[in-house]
Structure 1
Amino acid sequence: MINTARRIEITGIVQGVGFRPFVYEIASKYLLKGIVYNTSSGVLIHIEGNQQAVDSFCKEIYEKHPPLAYISEINHFKEDTKGFSDFKILGSIEDKLKSTLISPDISTCSTCLNELYDSNNLRYLYPFINCTDCGPRFTVIEKTPYDRKNTSMSYFKMCEACRTEYTNPQNRRFHAEIIACAKCGPQIFLYDNNKKSISTKNPIKKAIEILSSGYILAIKGIGGFQLAVDATNQDAVIRLREKKYRKDKPLAVMSNMEHILKYAYVDDTQKLLLKQIASPIVLLEKKEPFILSNSISPNNKYIGVMLPYTPLHILLLENFLALVMTSGNKNNEPIAKDNDEAFDNLSEIADYFLIHNRPILRRVDDSVIKIINNTPRFIRRARGYSPLPIIIKKNIPMILGCGADLKNTFCLTQKNKIFVSQHIGDIENFETYTSFKSTIEDMKKLFGINPEIVSYDMHPGYLTSKYAMELADIKKISVQHHHAHIASCMAEYCIDEPVIGLAFDGTGYGTDGNIWGGEILVCEYKNFLRVGHLSYMPMPGGDLAVKEPWRMAISYLYSVYKNNLLNLDLPILKNIEEKKINIVIEMISKGINTPYTSSMGRLFDGIASIIGIRDKISFEGQAAIELEIISEGNYDSTYDYECTSKDLHKILLDPIILGIVKDMRTGIQISKISKKFHNTIISIFSNLCSIIYKETGLKKVVLSGGVFQNSHILSGLTQSLERNNFEVFSHKLVSTNDSGICLGQVMIASAIQ
């Protein structure tokens, strides 16, 4: 006898994860009647039956939901009984409020993997096999509710076999919206770079032959195209670099776990991370001798590795130790996602194209993670994680945070949720700027967010800032770059009190018009006070000094030795023409095109050049990364340093430069010099935090900025501060580099609106 009825509204990641079939199963278990359906806000259930059974049903819904689901809110309402005769899954209803969360793309599950190689299975060797537990989500959904008609699979009509599984409550593909098989689903095609179809019964087998012959293959993946070559073929890797104009920047590889263990060290934390459903690229230490091409990550002890995360990747990898898998784009342009776009942009790079006819609705690059202090840290947050929101403890207005021009991501807020976009890239050309703008519009539409406020970096030259300032009918709030860095990390931990913030990076426009980057801030969301920084140094040639670290080296040396620096016996004086050095000295002495910087990133660059590691770079952070890599051993010495504390704590760098030059001239190994320099930075800022504690009483220290991707600095400074009884906070949910600052921008804008 029916004696109670209840309406249950659930929000969170409850679409595309098998939630309605799960509800159906639990309702059937307790002999309950009613309906369940998707809405733009989540899932709605009307349940009728015995009071005890309804209570048990509600408890299991919350406690035993599908593993990929996430319930952010569940509300119960008493209802009148409606006399349902059974329990049904109904068609979805679209409403104005779009508050449901969208699942990221998910790597192939073990059950689908087994079916992929089962010759008796309907989807034997089918490169688009998926189920309610795996497959693309974010890159195929056009709008909510998550129904097939609202995805890029709407083009494909289910065959009878797929329809039978889709409608069978006992089948694991019950209401799997992107279900498909070889008869009714997407197909693979192979072309050459002249857009000529390659006649073959098995495009994947032919593609394997092409890769084995040393050719470059463009592969249409989940969130865009990838460029692949055999990772053991040195000539193929070099050719890929040449064609993509990617001189030294590390390339990622894709491998099976048993093969990864042959060329890289993998600890338990890294193994778990590799096997996560997000399947990110994980930075691993190479084994020596290194059995893959040395051109994959030259002058670097790390290699970025990921497991195959789609059935297509799994099938392609069968014959290879590893495949190089790098983004399918021209240098510094967005990743190609459409077939025609790929042919137009990649034909001068790739020899062949392995494409398919399932549309990709949004570009999403691979995520990159580095383990530091036994904790996963994002280098790039994208596939497998976007568009999962950052959850905060209070509701804030709808705000757009535009991010920075380098490593751009933006974010949009909705109540207590902050949706950080997938990686956009460096906003330095028309194509990426266009992608930035179109992705904002896409996410606004997808989540039904119409921002009331736009927050942006105060740098007047940033394209992201110009975009924000040109928006009509919206409140505009500019945010200082390093304030945003610290606020982003505060937001991750829901810190709502003043902190000591250490912001170390390469570039950020300061309130005094100089370039900041080695900063100590006393910080809360509403405001900040700069209480310390590295002493200002001239940056000869402006941005050119970023690409040519020897310019910063001369700047630091000139501060100590003036023109006598030419008499020093240092590698830089042998590697760089004396004429060029004299020009830079004149620029510094006369103040010609030499903006001033307190940047920690530029200091690392300068030291790398002084000790002979690298004078010019081909990608951002290259010199600093190589300085970190050579820093090894249990060597705890530090260089002398000085701080002035008249108005604020200013760290004078001359004594450090003197010490490094002295060590170079006496033949100390550069690995020890690097280690000693790292120790010095840790010592300086740990000691200054203790002084600032005495001045302010603050015991929470927040670390943010790209320099904290350096394992030695993050680990060493964290441990030193904790020994002094500080609470230390560093990024886990977004990257510590500039791709995380949009989160801080919206928190600051919310506080000062």
Structure 2
Amino acid sequence: MTQIGKRVRVKGLVQGVGFRPFVWKLAQDLPISGYVLNDGRGVLIEVCGPSDTIGMFLDRLQEDAPVLARIDQIELTEISGDLYSGGFQIGESDGSEVATGIVPDAATCPKCLAEVLNPADRRHNYAFANCTHCGPRLSILRHIPYDRASTSMAVFPMCEECRVEYRNPEDRRFHAQPIACPDCGPRLWFETSGCETVSGDPVAIAADRLRAGEILAIKGLGGFQIAVDAGNEMAVEELRRRKRRPDKPLALMARDLHQIRSYCHLSNEEEDLLESSAAPILLLQRHGEQLAHSIACGHDRLGFMLPNTPLHHLLLGQLDRPIVLTSGNLSESPQETVNDQARRRLKVIVDGFLLHDREIVNRLDDSVLRLDGSGPTVLRRARGLAPAPIHLSQEFADAPKVLAMGGELKSAFCLLNGRNAVLSQHIGDLEDAATFADYKKMLRLYCDLYQFCPQIISVDCHPQYLSTAYGKALAKEFGAELDHVQHHHAHMAACLAEQQDPAIRDDPAFGLILDGLGWGEDGTVWGGEILKGDLSGFNRLGHFHPVPLPGGNAAVREPWRNLAAHLHTAFGPGYLGRLHGTRLRDALQAKPLKPLDRMIERSVNASLSSSAGRLFDSVAAALGIGFDCQSYEGQAAMLLEALARPHMQTEQGYPYHVSTPLPVVISFQALWMALIGDLKSGVSAGRIAARFHLGLIDGLVSALEQSGARSADRIVLSGGVFQNAILRDGVTSRLKASGHEVRNQTLVPANDGGLALGQAVVAAARHFTR
């Protein structure tokens, strides 16, 4: 039979996932000759054998790939000359130019967990067991190719038993770079907040102290976490007091799905997400009040995750109830990663520490997801999801290298290299100095990891964003072109990009982009926008009626300001007279309305804004929700959504006025007249909240149609306000019923956490169209 040779280049997430031993085993089964190795571009394979056997090899290469692998592309070339005939080998890694992906950290696989729980196994009760199917990746990685010497495991020499497993292609720990056991790997211990080591089983000690109501710091996979018994009301309230986190919901970790079902409804799809290798926090519909009330007061969902490391499995296995497991940091600061710094900074919060000696190289917070009627929604992209590249459409194959800087809040940056866009993990709000320092450190690290030298640096148009200022400085340093991308165009582009939409030239889509704030092209602050365009440009076809932001950032923190501004815009300076017979009149009269009204009338520190987020704040304030202030971003809107949910099937929406011709303007006087009438009639807050949501859905769909959207047109939904499940599902279903093709984001956040992806693809698309 004819012998042939093929060189096979495999691109994607194919390093650190057991891909080479998988190829080796496949070659032994068939059998064929050749070799496989890792290099900077992915995996390189050369195979020789009968033509039909090689064809079978190529088919199974994609069909049977390891569970954590993601093959984006396979390139084939013929091998000429002498062909191999001496079996199949696994070659040494080649440290050539880096263009491959880094696999995200993965939750403990069933086989490793079974070993940890088996008293007869040598890894019984070992908190750092892993294999090629699970365990740390990005969190321990210093550079690629991904080998042990490139990770923080380099300081732990393998014992002979681990070395045998590591070298055996038949073993699932073959070349598992973090391989470890109790004889040679990281160790665990418990110490008090006074730095005194406590003798005994560290996990058992921690479990006893949690049951006793203590607050503990736990060194997790990508950073420190703070834990407390989720059923102990006094302990949870004490955690809030010490951490200065009065209201924001707290994440929970449960032992297993059975335990989660005791507190929340679970669908099959939600179970699959919880048990996935990402093991994210998943927002679930709650039932009952068995856990501490203060975990998520006023919210109808709880954020649950399952254990993602052997350490978490061992700890939860000794507890009868879930634990609160929140980020180990001081309020608004980055999550701690270093033992000494955690001891020093967290001692004011915790009573003890569960520590280990494996270094966390890269900080990773927990990812947060929710399952909506229109599919999964990523609210925060971090551990388990980042930095898996977003694979772009073929049009980007020859794109220049673009570094996109993201925004100011929920910051993440993006490295675009050909069809791969690497979006960093969630870093945080750059207004905090420590977070901004971490952002700069991580950006430099990613550029080093990927040996990435940008040709274009893409930034937001807002002149005061720290990410924009830093991008300008980097453009000078790298000699790169600087490209400014409008905020809402970037949101729209991110959604198109993640779905490999080839909207680069002459293929416009409609975009309904709703968020808090973004710098507009006309010098005002945008936030409720209807756009039409592609990746290289757009036109603004409609927007919310602009309303002043009295006090600037103070209006974001204090919803009553937005309420006053909305009422002033709708009814003029005598708006208080319309509130006779409501408690709202007294509440507003207690505020400094005269200076605020002067700010509005004189346009002093009161920029005009079409913000959808501020509309939600104002309606929430009218119902007494977060009237005085918000202790975290989106608080008022989230509580308003929870309040509305039980009444959505029984109410009719408030009216909205949509003016024509283009650009269409959605205005709110009719909304406020109806809402105030309901307040005077004593309609419940929940029913009013539902009527607001229903009316807004109607108004948005009407505005899209009046802006020119017709049946079968693509409509992109993006922006942080579309984290509201009622709005996202309601608009999506209404538009689909009218024949529209609706695009929602499922891989990256619709909020500013996905902004950098949009900036990157816009900059690349503009390069093509010049």
CA distance in 2, matches of 1:7, 1:592: 67
Residue equivalent to 2:215: 216
> CA–CA distance in 1 between the matches of 2:520 and 2:297?
35
Match of 2:754 in 1: 740
- 2 CA distance for matches of 1:64 and 1:564? 67
Say which of 501, 506, 529 aligns to 2:511. Answer: 501
Match of 1:618 in 2: 631
Question: What is the rounded CA distance, in whole Å, between the counterparts of 1:57 and 1:212 in structure 2?
Answer: 54
CA, structure 1 residues 462+669, in 2 after alignment: closer, same or farther (shift >3 Å)?
Answer: same
CA contact (8 A) 2:711 2:738 kept: no
Identity across aligned pairs (percent)?
39
Residue 490 of structure 1: CA displacement?
1.4
The range that moved more, 539-548 or 50-59, is 50-59
Shift of 1:264: 0.9
Distance in 2 (CA, whole Å) between partners of 1:266 and 1:540 is: 43
CA contact (8 A) 2:381 2:426 kept: yes
Residue 692 of structure 1 deviates from its aligned partner by 2.0
Aligned to 1:261: 261
Deviation of 1:586 after TM superposition, in Å, equals 3.4
1:549 aligned onto 2:559? yes
Matches within 5 A, 1:265-414: 265-288=265-288, 290-318=289-317, 319-393=319-393, 394=395, 395=397, 396-414=399-417
**Secondary structure of the corresponding residue to residue 731 of structure 1:** coil
Contact 1:500–1:698 (Cα < 8 Å) also in 2: no
Q: Is the 8 A contact 1:2 1:48 kept in 2?
A: no
Give the superposition deviation at 1:260: 0.6
Partner AA of 1:675 in structure 2:
A
Identify the residue that residue 729 of structure 2 maps to in structure 1.
715
Q: CA deviation at 1:734?
A: 0.7
Name the aligned partner's letter for residue 87 of structure 1: F
Q: Are residue 653 (structure 1) and residue 668 (structure 2) matched?
A: yes
- State the Cα deviation string for residues 209-246 of structure 1 (Å, max 9, x = none): 12111111111111111111111111111111111111
Task: Indicate how the Cα distance of structure 1 residues 270 and 697 shifts in structure 2: closer, same or farther if over 3 A, else same.
Answer: closer
Q: TM-score, normalised by structure 1?
A: 0.96
Provide the C-alpha distance between the structure 2 equivalents of 1:444 and 1:249, rounded to a whole number of angstroms: 34
Determine if contact 2:712/2:739 at 8 Å carries over to the other structure.
Answer: no
> 1:174-213 counterparts in 2 under 5 A?
174-198=174-198, 200-213=199-212
Q: 1:320: how far off?
A: 3.3
Cα distance in 2 for residues equivalent to 1:36 and 1:287: 52
Query: Which of 713, 720, 723 is the aligned partner of 1:699?
Result: 713
| Letter paired with 2:88 | F
Contact 1:112 1:129 in 2 (8 A): yes
Structure 1, 403-412 or 522-531: larger mean CA deviation: 522-531
- Separation (CA, whole Å) in 2 of partners of 1:11 and 1:556: 53
Contact 1:377 1:732 in 2 (8 A): yes
Which residue is 2:92 aligned to? 91
Q: How far did residue 579 of structure 1 move? A: 5.0
1:722 counterpart letter in structure 2: K
For 1:563, give the aligned amino acid: G
Larger deviation, residues 569-578 vs 671-680: 569-578
Query: Conserved in 2, the CA contact under 8 Å of 1:571 and 1:610?
Result: no
State the 1:562 CA deviation. 2.5
| 1:83 CA displacement | 5.2
Residues 658, 703 of structure 2: 8 Å contact kept: no
- State the SS of the aligned residue for 2:457: strand
* SS of residue in 2 equivalent to 1:264: coil
Conserved 8 A contact 1:7-1:79 = no
Which deviates further from its counterpart, 638-647 or 712-721? Answer: 638-647
Does the 8 Å contact 2:42/2:101 carry over to 1?
A: yes
Contact in 2 for aligned 1:379/1:735 (Cα 8 Å)? yes
Is contact 1:269-1:374 (8 Å) kept?
A: no
Q: How far has the Cα of 1:82 moved from its partner?
A: 5.9
Aligned ranges 1:441-480 → 2 under 5 Å = 441-471=444-474, 472=476, 473-480=479-486
**Given the two structures, how large is their TM-score scaled by the length of structure 2?**
0.94
Match of 2:581 among 559, 569, 575: 569
Alpha-carbon spacing, 1:245–1:576, altered in 2? closer, same or farther (3 Å): farther
2:653 maps to which residue? 638
Amino acid at match of 2:485: V
Higher mean Cα deviation, 613-622 or 31-40?
A: 31-40
Write the letter of the residue equivalent to 1:502.
L
Kindly indicate whether the alpha-carbon contact (under 8 Å) linking 2:711 and 2:740 is maintained by their aligned counterparts in 1: no
CA distance in 2, matches of 1:113, 1:493: 35
Q: 1:280 to 1:512 in 2, by over 3 A?
A: same
Unaligned runs of 5+ in 1: none
Query: After superposition, where does 1:1-12 map in structure 2 within 5 Å?
Result: 3-12=3-12
Aligned residue runs from structure 1 range 473-488, under 5 A: 473-488=479-494
Q: CA deviation at 1:492?
A: 2.0
The alpha carbon displacement at 1:84 in A equals 5.3
Q: Which runs of 4+ in 1 moved over 6 A?
A: none
1:595 and 2:607 are equivalent in the alignment: yes
Q: Secondary structure at the match of 2:695?
A: helix
1:430-482 deviation line (CA, Å, top 9, x unaligned)? 21111111111111111222111011110111100111122211111111111
With over 3 angstroms needed to count, the CA separation of the structure-2 counterparts of 1:31 and 1:723, relative to structure 1, is closer
| Aligned counterparts of 1:678 and 1:716: Cα–Cα separation in 2 | 9
Alignment partners' CA distance in 1, 2:151 and 2:182: 19
